[in-house]
Amino acid sequence: MRISCPHCGERALDEFSYLGDASVTRPDPAAADAADAFYTYAYERRNIAGPTQELWYHQAGCHAWLVVTRDTRTHEISDVKAAQDVALERVNSTTGAA
């Protein structure tokens, strides 16, 4: 498995460290159901067999957080984006919708 960092190009797996599911967002701590929402956020996992979006950190490279789209059944990587760009897209799409 090799990951193509958008900043550094294709690099070996041992330059990266893994965090997990990139599709979840931190719940609002002021919400009425915050305790339940934080339990789900912190402890439950979708644990999908198939393509997933996950956060990887380019620890031995540019120190960027990346959103990697990877199939957990085959380890095939179909897309890598900077996490910052993904986060901005999300913010823009929510503000656009509002």
| Residues that bind another protein in the complex, under the rule CB under 8 A | 1, 12-14, 17-18, 20, 39-40, 42-47, 49, 52, 54, 70, 72-75
CB 71 within 8 A of CB 50: yes
Whole-angstrom distance, CA of residue 58 vs CA of residue 3: 9
Phi-psi region of 19 (alpha: psi -120 to 50; beta: other; left: phi over 0): alpha
Which amino acid is residue 42, in one-letter code?
Answer: A
Compute the least distance from the CB of residue 71 to another protein, in Å.
9
Name the β-bridge partners of 9: 5
Taking the least distance from each CB to another protein, the nearer of 32 and 97 is 32
Compute the least distance from the CB of residue 98 to another protein, in Å.
28
Taking the least distance from each CB to another protein, the nearer of 54 and 65 is 54
Compute the least distance from the CB of residue 86 to another protein, in Å.
18
Taking the least distance from each CB to another protein, the nearer of 52 and 87 is 52
Whole-angstrom distance, CA of residue 95 vs CA of residue 81: 21
